[in-house]
Amino acid sequence: MSARILYGKEFAAQIKESARLEVEKIKNNFGVTPGLAVIIVGENPASQVYVRNKHKTCEELGIVSEVVAMPEDTTKENLLAKIDELNADKNIHGILVQLPLPAAIKAHSDEILNRIDPKKDVDGFHPVNVGNLVIGNPQLVPCTPAGCIEMLDLAGIEIDGKRAVIIGRSNIVGKPLFHLLLARHATVTVCHTHTKNLAEIAREAEILVAASGKPNLVTGDMIREGATVIDVGINRIAPKKLVGDVDFDAAKEIAGAITPVPGGVGLLTVAMLMKNVVKAAKLQCA
């Protein structure tokens, strides 16, 4: 029997509708319209697509969207000054610096991201927000792992008491997801490039999350029968072919539920960003 396919589009639509209703409440209760500023430095084509998508979604939900386009040769000092300006702007509740930055300032990415006011850090990358997540007091949480949890909830898949395995330990997905699952009373194992017996550990998972960035790393024989498989990987293996970290065709014959790539968790990331902008606006109105 084939697995239930967890299509991101339907879950993203529910999250966005919930965010739209919250925007209306904030407008009515506080007389404030949530605002997002996205800074894009240079003309990376993929980054431009992502920024347009965020801008369009903001407009759909009634969120003020400001795109700050800065030239490729922008200095670190100029970029930090722009962030300071947005930190002080009471009409902007969320600030996002689109990555990757140009080569000349890429080495300063951490310093640049850390300049964002933690209350406006809608990517959830600031050390203050990371620390809050670790101690069990989450404020603004990275969008992709938060989307994984939201998808499980909306799909009616229980987390409490389950054995979860995450393959990947990045600061963007693996580590925050560990803390989110732990907070929901899952027993969580994190695997990585130095893990021995990866297949054996993966087979223990009732919830298996693949976030390694390696195409088709997870094969069918690594999946426990009936497990929920969340594939966060997006790997381009040909000009027009994207695959995840999971061998989807083999996995769907064994798993109980599985996300496709493309069309899975990735679609929830922008929806969760909107949810973070709304949350940031609430934090600043409180």
Q: Is 286 exposed, middle or buried (0-12, 13-18, 19+ CB in 10 A)?
A: exposed
Report whether 198 contacts 222 (CB < 8 A).
yes
Q: Is 98 a catalytic residue?
A: yes
Which of these is catalytic: 117, 121, 123, 231?
123
C-alpha 92/C-alpha 78 separation (Å) is 19
- CA-closest candidate to residue 251, choices 271, 234, 231: 231
Whether 223 and 208 have beta carbons less than 8 Å apart is answered as yes
* Residue-wise burial string across 257-282, b where 16 or more C-beta atoms lie within 10 A, e elsewhere: bbbbbeebbbbbbbbbbbbbbbbbbb
Q: List alpha helices for the chain, DSSP H.
A: 8-30, 45-61, 76-88, 103-106, 109-114, 127-134, 143-154, 174-183, 198-202, 248-251, 266-285
Residue with tokens 């969008």: 143
The strand pair at 207-210 and 228-231 is best described as: parallel
Name the phi and psi angles at 37, rounded to 5: -110, 125
> What does the alpha-carbon distance between residue 195 and residue 53 come to, in Å, rounded to a whole number?
37
Choose among 170, 96, 106: nearest CA to 140: 96
Active-site hit among 98, 121, 162, 279 = 98
Which amino acids are annotated catalytic? 54, 98, 123
